């Protein structure tokens, strides 16, 4: 049983937490639990989830699904899954791979169908009713998966099969499924005493509610802030296309919200320091005061995670999480981060000095000045204006370029198809391999709106599966939050948004190209510090001159981006990298320190901001730089799946920098042999083997950190 919403990647804030808990050890427990959830035929009448979806590619019939359909269908799915699990656990026959491991993998079809739809829709089309449902459904599902993961009878059957693994003549995929299933039970606490499992159950249920509230609070705080400008003089510095994109006819004002695209553009362009400060504070102080304060929630989440880790025999939540990741230990992750932190912070101080020199004695540089004056220094040093580049990066052309890259590397094609999506702006594509075989459906939702959470991410409405030859192919989504241009105008992108599109497309390909039979480890599977690699490596192509020639053409004239402009862009590639490295690494270190707390240490916390300041001060963060995420809006770790793992993006950069070096060494960014290995061992293999083995099979060696440091312009000897 794998829920694709759990594989939402990148700037995610998933609310569903499925961990471990209640058990079915005794029949009375099962009966009591069953009594808690009931649904009648009348409640299910006309419910689209009860039907086989006769829709193109089997996508959910979005227009037919009403908010009121989710809960009855979810309850029905839970009851069906309980019956399936009970049948496995209570089977009087000997435990076998088929009647235990495979049977579990096939269980939960309906609940998977409902949950995948529900959690994707709440990320893109959230409303008040769905918010209420989130707070009810997340703890409910947490308890149900606790009931599976801590079911002693079920665990005994899994243990029995695992003990026979060397005599069962399993193929590679069967052996991997057995290994991961057994590992999951052990790490969930299935072998613990019942009173300990009961405590874990209570913790997980509370965590599910807390993480949901955290995400909803953040969404409310983000939607609640608007910077309105009515005096045109105060739009000084803003480009015409940006002004047009934020003009609100009803308000009679230019309205800037907190979606990252609009925020970065305004902070870079605006000449009005007071307004930059207002937007800066609106962004960094979100969900940190009054009725919407996520600080206490962050503390409680950290306390519960630390306690759960202690109950399972670990020093901290970070120790528990990292055991199965490439970094292995919190110390390993922290040591790695500090190798990048030190040269990054030193470079950031140099960048600050350059900007202060430009400002002179007019004022002391502050955090809300950094974006604006970094751009001024960049223009002066490299004669490069962001607005000069944007006309060459039009959304449709950029997306076509990404498709062409995928075709040249992996032989896949993307054909536009008419499919009714969850929103009219969704564009869908039938993805086929080099032989014309269907690989999956790719659905792109590119624009920001109030009902959609911030950031960029990949997810799926259905995962790939080939159990018994069923050949089910995935339904993959990519989400960005670009500013919607005025009607009839093109969507012009900053280059950072171009690389984000390539990044999420990499996650999409990881989900589309998978050739794994079992959903448990198909698609975007693996430890967090590996799963960003298939996305991040594709960012390298976006900046290659050969690639730019394929998609970077002026939206009006069709002129390919001039080589001299490309050269200036590449020359400026590492500019302000001290800032970017420092703000990201600060957030990564903060995440680690939240989750390195022992249960005893976490219990003493009373003030999230005070803890945050103590941590960042200890690492020497300068006051002019904020961590990329402050605790109150750090949804990756407090409402998503990156707890003790936000460092993963940087760790994966070791892999992507080293991996792209293989193409450079081949002197061909589309080298067929290198691309074939990348396709086979990374994009097609999912979690077939341990992450370090998959990487070695592709690269032929372990990765080196030197390409990462060199790529950021840092001295590799530091």
What's the CA gap between 674 and 409, in Å, rounded?
9
Task: Tell me if 392 sits within 8 A of 406, measured CB to CB.
Answer: no
Number of H helices, E strands in the chain: 31, 11
Taking residue 233's Cβ as centre, other Cβ atoms within 10 Å add up to 7
Nearest of 229, 226, 290 to residue 259 by alpha carbon? 226
Taking residue 388's Cβ as centre, other Cβ atoms within 10 Å add up to 13
Question: What is the DSSP code (8-state) at residue 455?
Answer: S
User: Taking phi first (over 0 means left), then psi (-120 to 50 degrees means alpha), and beta for anything else, what does residue 530 get?
Assistant: alpha
Residues 6+ away with beta carbon under 8 Å from 574: 712, 713
What are the CA-CA distances from residue 200 to residues 14, 190, 205 (Å)?
21, 10, 9
Give me Rg for the CA atoms of the chain.
25
Would you give the end-to-end CA distance of the chain in angstroms? 46
The β-bridge partners of 482 are 447
What's the CA gap between 40 and 84, in Å, rounded?
19
Angle in degrees, 0-180, between the axes of helices 295-311 and 608-619, rounded to the nearest 10: 80
Mind spelling out the 3-state secondary structure of 196-233?
Answer: HHHHHHHHHHHHHHHHHHHHHHHHHHHHHCCEEECCHH
Q: Is 349 helix (H, G, I), strand (E, B) or coil?
A: helix
Strands (E), 307-418: 413-417
Structure tokens belonging to residue 115: 């949950």
Positions annotated as catalytic residues are 504
Q: Name residue, tokens 């751009």.
A: 375
What's the CA gap between 233 and 112, in Å, rounded?
53
* Opening angle at CA 5, ends 199 and 409, nearest 5: 135
Nearest of 136, 118, 132 to residue 14 by alpha carbon? 118
Nearest of 399, 459, 458, 407 to residue 433 by alpha carbon? 407
What's the CA gap between 703 and 662, in Å, rounded?
11
What are the CA-CA distances from residue 19 to residues 84, 186, 201, 207, 606 (Å)?
19, 12, 9, 10, 26
What are the CA-CA distances from residue 620 to residues 344, 616, 623 (Å)?
12, 6, 9
Question: What is the DSSP code (8-state) at residue 479?
Answer: E
User: Taking phi first (over 0 means left), then psi (-120 to 50 degrees means alpha), and beta for anything else, what does residue 50 get?
Assistant: alpha
Task: Tell me if 509 sits within 8 A of 535, measured CB to CB.
Answer: no
Task: Tell me if 525 sits within 8 A of 531, measured CB to CB.
Answer: yes
Residues 6+ away with beta carbon under 8 Å from 461: 4, 59, 60, 116, 117, 120, 475, 477
Sign of CA dihedral 146, 151, 152, 155: negative
Nearest of 553, 537, 471 to residue 503 by alpha carbon? 537
* Opening angle at CA 324, ends 319 and 330, nearest 5: 30
Task: Tell me if 287 sits within 8 A of 217, measured CB to CB.
Answer: yes
In this structure, what are the phi and psi dihedrals at residue 444, rounded to the nearest 5 degrees? Answer: -115, 125
Task: Tell me if 286 sits within 8 A of 632, measured CB to CB.
Answer: yes
């Amino acid at each position: 049983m794998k829920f694709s919403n759990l594989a939402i990647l990148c700037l995610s804030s998933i609310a569903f937490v499925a961990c471990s808990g209640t058990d079915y050890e005794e029949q009375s427990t099962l009966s009591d639990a069953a009594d808690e959830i009931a649904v009648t035929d009348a409640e299910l009448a006309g419910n689209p989830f009860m039907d086989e979806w006769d829709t193109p590619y089997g996508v959910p019939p979005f227009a037919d699904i009403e908010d009121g359909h989710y809960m009855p269908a979810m309850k029905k799915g839970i009851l069906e899954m309980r019956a399936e699990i009970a049948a496995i656990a209570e089977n009087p026959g000997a435990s076998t791979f088929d009647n235990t491991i495979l049977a579990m993998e096939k269980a939960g079809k309906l609940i998977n169908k409902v949950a995948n739809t529900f959690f994707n829709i709440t990320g893109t089309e959230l409303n008040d009713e769905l918010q209420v449902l989130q707070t009810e459904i997340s703890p409910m599902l947490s308890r149900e998966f606790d009931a599976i993961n801590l079911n002693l009878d079920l665990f005994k059957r899994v243990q029995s099969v695992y003990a026979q693994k060397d005599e069962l003549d399993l193929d590679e995929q069967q052996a991997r499924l057995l290994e991961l299933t057994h590992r999951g039970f052990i790490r969930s606490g299935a072998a613990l005493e019942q009173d300990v499992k009961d405590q874990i159950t209570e913790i997980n249920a509370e965590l599910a509610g807390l993480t949901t509230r955290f995400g909803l609070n953040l969404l409310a705080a983000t939607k609640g802030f608007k910077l309105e400008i009515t005096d045109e003089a105060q739009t000084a510095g803003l480009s015409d296309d940006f002004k047009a994109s934020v003009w609100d006819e009803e308000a009679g004002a230019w309205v800037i919200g907190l979606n990252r695209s609009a925020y970065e553009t305004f902070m870079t362009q605006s000449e009005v320091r007071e307004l930059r400060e207002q937007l800066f504070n609106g962004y960094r102080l979100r969900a940190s005061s009054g009725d919407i304060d996520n600080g206490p929630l962050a503390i409680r989440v950290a306390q519960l995670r630390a306690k759960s880790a202690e109950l399972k025999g670990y020093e901290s939540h970070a120790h528990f999480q990292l055991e199965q990741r490439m970094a292995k230990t919190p110390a390993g992750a922290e040591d790695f981060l500090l190798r990048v932190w030190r040269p990054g912070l030193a470079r950031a101080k140099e960048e600050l000095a350059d900007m202060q020199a430009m400002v002179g004695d007019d004022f002391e540089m502050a955090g809300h000045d950094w974006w604006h004056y970094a751009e001024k220094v960049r223009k002066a040093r490299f004669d490069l204006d962001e607005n000069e580049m944007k006309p060459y990066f039009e959304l449709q052309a950029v997306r076509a370029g990404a498709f062409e890259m995928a075709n040249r590397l992996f032989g896949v094609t993307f054909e536009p198809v008419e499919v009714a999506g969850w929103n009219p702006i969704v564009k869908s594509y039938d993805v086929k391999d080099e032989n014309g075989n269907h690989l999956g459906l790719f659905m792109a939702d590119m624009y920001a709106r109030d009902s959609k959470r911030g950031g960029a991410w990949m997810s799926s409405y259905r995962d790939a599966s080939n159990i018994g030859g069923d050949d089910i192919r995935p339904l993959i989504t990519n989400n960005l939050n670009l500013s919607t241009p005025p009607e009839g105008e093109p969507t012009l992108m900053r280059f950072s948004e171009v690389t984000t599109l390539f990044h999420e497309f990499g996650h999409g390909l990881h989900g589309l190209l998978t050739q794994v039979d079992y959903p448990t480890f198909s698609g975007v599977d693996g430890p967090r510090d590996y799963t960003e690699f298939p996305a991040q490596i594709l960012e390298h192509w976006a900046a290659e001159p050969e690639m730019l020639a394929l998609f970077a053409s002026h939206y009006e004239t069709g002129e390919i981006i001039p080589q001299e402009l490309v050269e200036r862009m590449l020359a400026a590639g590492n500019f302000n990298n001290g800032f970017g490295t420092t703000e990201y690494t600060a957030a990564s270190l903060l995440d680690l320190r939240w989750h390195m707390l022992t249960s005893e240490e976490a219990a003493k916390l009373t003030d999230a901001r005070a803890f945050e300041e103590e941590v960042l001060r200890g690492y020497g963060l300068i006051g002019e730089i904020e961590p990329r995420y402050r605790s109150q809006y750090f949804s990756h770790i407090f409402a998503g799946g990156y707890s003790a793992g936000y460092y993963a993006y940087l760790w994966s950069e070791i892999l992507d920098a080293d991996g792209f070096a293989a193409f450079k060494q081949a002197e061909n960014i589309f080298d067929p042999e290198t691309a074939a290995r990348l396709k086979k061992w990374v994009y097609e293999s999912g979690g077939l083997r341990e992450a370090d083995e998959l990487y070695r099979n592709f690269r032929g060696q372990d990765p080196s950190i030197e390409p990462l440091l060199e790529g950021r312009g840092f001295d590799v000897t530091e």
